[in-house]
Amino acid sequence: MNQPLRIAIAGLGTVGAGTVKLLHTNGVAIAARCGRTIAVTAVSARDRKKDRGLNLTGVAWFDDPVEMAAKAEADVIVELIGGSEGAARQTVETALARKLHVVTANKALLAHHGVALAKTAEAAGLTLAYEAAVAGGIPIIKALREGLAGNTIQRITGILNGTCNYILSTMRATGRAFADVLKEAQDLGYAEADPAFDIDGVDAAHKLAILTSVAFGTQVDIKSVHVEGIRHVSSLDIQYADEFGYRIKLLGLAERDAQTGGIVQRVYPCLITPDVPLARVDGVFNAVVAEGDFVGKSVYEGRGAGAGPTSSAVVADLIDIASGRRVPTFGIPATQLQKLVSVPLDQHVGEYYVRLLVVDRPGVFADIAGAFRDESVSMESVLQRGRTQNANVNVVIITHNTQEANLLRALKSLQANAALVEPPHMMRIENLK
């Protein structure tokens, strides 16, 4: 058998500790699959005294991950620190400068610096691997980059954040308010003490930007992703969506615009019909649908976070390196990635869900209809419920296909109407059939 692949792990949190445990538990099978053992030779973490349930006898310990990347006896640096700057970025850059392969689970780093890091790695004949950065245990990077390599990808759609999916599916199942379910998600460890990164859509946007690059051969462009989170989604919205025959999901979507040839990247809560695969994905699970010109639709579902799924993805990358398998970081050489030409979201054409809380008095609906008429927005369905305690009513509208810019102008006009009690609530309806 060949010499062991020596790895140094920066970060011994949930994923780092899980990776060490996986390599120990399945070490014999892993060695058989790649023709050599994978040995942890060094680690770096803040607290040496913390009991992680790991046997680190004979493993070098570094307090500073950057120093570890510069000095450890290793062939691969596994970066599990997180964050787009600071120690994480310095650790990866130091490893590549030292001609060491890198495996990372850091979506933020790749979303902001992935192309530059890929160019550095590829110029040195090194691997920069990141299966664990997107959708946890789902092997979506390998699927897009290798399994579907013969296809022209037309669209990527995914539930890319388990925290948001848990909140929305629990709200639907129980009728409870957003804040209540968010607190439960935090208590269960599904959401951080500061949940903004998840519930504001940032985490999903990082993952979508990476998927877009692999799927369409473009440079990673996080700045072109339109991002909306789920803070404004209420239990009322979920109830009304049900009545109209829809589910609400936070989705990441990327597709090529047929008219301009540009790429639309968007993350937002939207309404989808219950018969599409993503509508049936609940709880903390992630799922991705890839649509190719020859393969059609292929669906990938699994746990998007946690020690087991994410460490599984880390080790899959390590096995590729140990076996000598190497492909360009984003599917084609980084120097050949095309600059992404973005398409403004206000050019989007589709159906929309609009909820208006208005004062219940004569003439209000005529004002609503007039604002929509003036911007050529046609209403397909309208639902009005009884008065609230404050004598207000919710008016819910499903539009026909319309350009988003037109609807936004209509809603802006309505905001000047004194009958509106709060700003309009608007979500897009995505036809994913």
Domain of 122, CATH number, reads: 3.40.50.720
Report if residue 169 sits inside a domain. yes
- What tens digit of pLDDT does each residue of 164-192 get? 999 999 999 999 999 999 999 999 888 88
How high is the pLDDT of residue 168? 97
Res 356: pLDDT:
94
Pseudo-torsion of CA 138, 246, 404, 385, nearest 10°? Answer: -140
pLDDT at 198: 95
**CA-based nearest residue to 342, from 420, 217, 236, 254:** 254
Query: CB–CB of 319/34 below 8 Å?
Result: yes
CB contact set of 51 (below 8 Å; sequence gap of 6+)? none
| Residue 165 three-state SS | helix
Q: Is residue 395 part of a domain?
A: yes
Write the CATH number for 367: 3.30.70.260
Angle made by CA atoms 265, 269, 273, in degrees to the nearest 5: 100
Domain boundary among 137, 168, 194: 137
Active site (catalytic) residues: 207
- Domain identity same for 27 and 119: yes
pLDDT, mean of residues 377-397:
84
Task: Give phi and psi for 200, each to the nearest 5.
Answer: -90, 5
Does 315 reside within a domain? Answer: no
Residues 353 and 411 in one domain: yes
Same domain, 145 and 42: no
Please count the CA atoms within 13 angstroms of the CA of 93 that sit on its side-chain side.
12
For residues 104-129, give the mean pLDDT. Answer: 97
Of 38-52, 113-127, 197-211, the poorest mean pLDDT is in 38-52
Q: What is the CATH number of the domain that holds 218?
A: 3.30.360.10
- 34 and 123 co-located in one domain: yes
The pLDDT-based confidence of 208 (bands split at 50, 70, 90) is: very high
| Same structural domain, 296 and 149 | yes
Domain-terminating residue out of 137, 165, 198: 137
pLDDT of residue 389: 63
What is the SS3 assignment for 191? coil
Same domain membership, residue 267 and residue 170: yes
Q: What pTM did the predictor assign?
A: 0.94
Q: Decide if 116 is inside a domain.
A: yes
Based on the fold, state whether residues 27 and 64 are members of the same structural domain: yes
Q: Per-residue pLDDT tens for 338-371? A: 998 888 888 889 999 999 999 888 888 899 999 9
Q: pLDDT tens digit string along 8-22? A: 999 999 899 999 999
Domain membership of residue 34 (yes or no) is: yes
Per-residue pLDDT, 360 = 83
One domain for residues 290 and 180: yes
In a domain, 98, yes or no: yes
User: Could you list the residue range(s) of the whole structural domain that residue 270 is in?
Assistant: 140-302
Q: What local confidence, expressed as pLDDT, does residue 189 receive?
A: 84
Question: What letter represents residue 98's amino acid?
Answer: R
- 304 or 315, which is more confident: 315
| Type and span of the H or E element at 58 | none
Average pLDDT over residues 46-74: 90
**Residue 205 and residue 169 share a domain:** yes
* Residue 339 maps to a domain: no
Determine how many CB atoms are found less than 10 A away from the CB of residue 217: 16
Give residue 388's pLDDT band: very low, low, confident or very high (50, 70, 90). Answer: low
Three-state DSSP class for residue 419: coil
Chain centroid, CA 405 distance in Å:
26
Q: What is the pLDDT of residue 1?
A: 58
Residue 321, domain member (yes or no): no
Mean pLDDT, the chain, whole residue set: 93
pLDDT, tens digit (0-9, with 9 covering 90-100), for 279-306: 999 999 999 999 999 999 999 999 988 8
Q: Same structural domain for residues 128 and 154? A: no
Q: What pLDDT is stored for residue 264 in this prediction?
A: 93
Mean pLDDT of 418-432: 92
The predicted pLDDT at position 17 comes to: 93
Regarding whether 158 and 113 lie in a shared domain, the answer is no
Q: What is the pLDDT of residue 55?
A: 84
Q: Say if residue 147 is in the same domain as residue 38.
A: no
Tell me the backbone φ, ψ of residue 257, rounded to 5 degrees.
-75, 125
In angstroms, the Cα distances linking 179 to 183, 200, 234, 389, 430 are 6, 14, 9, 22, 26
- Does the structure show a pLDDT above 70 at 386? no
Q: What is the mean pLDDT of residues 366-394?
A: 86
Q: In this predicted model, what pLDDT tens digit does every residue of 319-329 receive, in sequence order?
A: 999 999 999 99
- More reliable by pLDDT, 257 or 328: 328
- Percent of the chain topping pLDDT 90: 82
Band (pLDDT 50/70/90 cuts) for residue 30 is very high
